[in-house]
Amino acid sequence: MTGRHTIATAQDAPAEAPPAGDAQRLDAQLCFAVYSAAHAFGRAYRALLTRHDLTYPQYLVLMVLWESEGLTVKEIGNRLFLDSGTLTPLLKRMEASGHVRRARDRTDERQVSIFLTAKGRELEGRLDCIPAKAGGMSGMSPEARRDLLDLLVGLRGSLHGSLESDDP
């Protein structure tokens, strides 16, 4: 990171409150800016992935499996911050479309591991241009995108950490 941006942590002094009357304005909400940017990214990826008959969540699963194949549903869910109730139907659709194969563990029937098929592996090379295309759609330089990525990963970590510390 270039040092221009930092993520405030619980130990840092609280940020200055917005002027009276501005705190409840929608355009003053960081959470809404992140939420609406995520929706815009979803639309951008939909445009890029539709011709490959993939959804963005399916693409995320493929990226996880390209890094490490044979993960359990729980392991994939942990990587993507998705619960098994959301992930299982998605994986069933991916199996039906021929991208992955699900296999139950012989010693523990509750565990299901996910493996790429030849079709799923082949997509890695065909889709390797997607990150650059999506990044280019952002209108940001590669350096600015890296800075933003670092900020958002730090923000996610801070939020998860604050939620965990609030647990009894």
pLDDT tens, position by position, 105-123: 888 878 899 999 999 999 9
H/E element, 133: helix 130-137
pLDDT higher at 129 or 8: 129
Q: What is the DSSP letter of 123?
A: H
Sheet strands (E) in 16-160: 71-72, 100-104, 112-116
Residue 94 has pLDDT above 50, yes or no: yes
In this structure, is residue 127 part of a structural domain?
yes
In this structure, is residue 158 part of a structural domain?
no
In this structure, is residue 93 part of a structural domain?
yes
Range of the domain at 89: 30-137
Residue 17 has pLDDT above 80, yes or no: no
> Tokens for 90?
């998605």
In this structure, is residue 155 part of a structural domain?
no
CATH number, residue 90: 1.10.10.10
What is the total count of domains within the chain?
1
pLDDT tens, position by position, 119-137: 999 999 999 999 999 999 9
The CB-side HSE value for 112 (13 A sphere, CA atoms) comes to 14
